[in-house]
Amino acid sequence: MDDLKSLPFLTRKMLAFEHALVFSLRLTERSMAVKNLTIRGITREGLFSFKVATVGTAVPTASSFRIPDIPIMVSVIDEDGSIFQGDVYVTLELMANGDRMYGLLAGFVEGGKELSFPVPNTQDPLPNRGRITQTTQITMTIGEEMEIMVPFHAVWRVIAVAFKLNTSAIVADRIVELEFENYKFQLIRCVQDAKQTASQLRHYSAASFGRTPASWTSNEYIITIPNDMWLTGDSRIKTMTQGFQGNDQFRDCSALVEQFLQPGS
């Protein structure tokens, strides 16, 4: 097609730019996982494609790529199909001689959903939700209380917490209190009043059960936590155990959470 003005996209021919003007794309990513992205597009000079590996620290990280002309269309793609919703957020900007000229696209990239300019009609599988994820199970050092840290630059909505407590032969009643702390300040403390004695292995489950159970089974203890508990980065979920002994040990500690990237970080 000879008449480029009939195209619905911006091209260099529509503008009186000097040929010395240098165009580039700047991709800024914030991610909770190390993944591979592809930037692919087209200008009047032809196709271009660039590969980007995310850092996975949730810290904004920028990369720049020289292109020969204004992009007619461009996409950021998860070609591996391995990114979960809420893990990788990107912005793509058009730069001219190193100056930001136009924000082309911004949003979450995930398996089966790329970001594109001009903007297509795409939507997250779970709109306005984060990633539902379970933390790695950890076993604490003998004599240490349980502690699960929220990653820096992340926000958690806590769904459930699970752990086991193996008590030593030292005779004492242990009562486990589950605490939520924000920047080392206690937000809330949740307590179950069942007593765990010496030489026992007990399973603890914490979630929003709606009421405090009247009784527990011999091996399963229940802790009720708030329905909408949010924690920001550098916060933690921990225990404070009455009667805790130096040879007691917390095992298989994990949390089920909805994870978001902290805004503006």
Whether residue 231 is contained in a domain is answered as yes
Number of domains in the chain: 2
70 domain-assigned? yes
| Same domain flag for 91 and 178 | no
Q: What DSSP letter does each residue of 142-158 carry, written as one string? A: TT---EEEPPTTEEEEE
Task: Based on the fold, state whether residues 8 and 53 are members of the same structural domain.
Answer: yes
What are the tens digits of pLDDT across the range 94-147?
Answer: 999 999 999 999 999 998 889 999 987 677 777 788 999 999 999 999 999 999
The arithmetic mean of pLDDT across residues 55-65, rounded, is 93
125 is a domain residue: no
Residue that wins the pLDDT comparison between 11 and 95: 95
Q: Select the highest-mean-pLDDT range: 6-10, 91-95, 179-183, 219-223.
A: 91-95
Q: Tell me: do 75 and 106 sit in the same domain.
A: yes
Structural contact between residues 83 and 33, judged by C-beta atoms closer than 8 angstroms: yes
Residue 49 sits at φ, ψ, to 5 deg, of -155, 135
122: in domain = no
Dist CA 253 CA 141 (whole Å): 12
In a domain, residue 147? The reply is yes
Which is nearest to 254 in space by CA: 135, 164, 142?
Answer: 135
Question: pLDDT tens for residues 14-35?
Answer: 665 556 789 999 999 999 999 9
Q: Are residues 253 and 135 in the same domain?
A: yes
Among 117, 147, 178, the domain-final residue is 117
Same domain, 135 and 257: yes
pLDDT in tens, 34-44: 999 999 999 98
Distance CA 231, CA 145 (A): 19
Cβ contact 152:58 at 8 Å: yes
User: With 80 as the cut, is the pLDDT of residue 186 above it?
Assistant: no
Report if pTM > 0.85: no
We report the CATH number of the domain holding residue 113 as 2.60.60
CATH of the domain at 252: 2.60.120
Of 57, 86, 117, the residue at which a domain comes to its end is 117
Q: Are residues 43 and 12 both part of a single domain?
A: yes
Asked if residue 229 lies in contact with residue 158, where contact means CB atoms within 8 angstroms, the answer is yes
Q: What is the dihedral of CA 252, 253, 259, 262, to 10 degrees?
A: -140
Strand, coil or helix: 260: strand
Domain coverage including residue 181: 131-261
How do residues 200-235 score in pLDDT, each as one tens digit? Answer: 999 999 999 876 665 566 788 999 999 889 999 889
Based on the domain organization, do 140 and 230 belong to the same domain?
Answer: yes
Beta bridge partners of 69: none
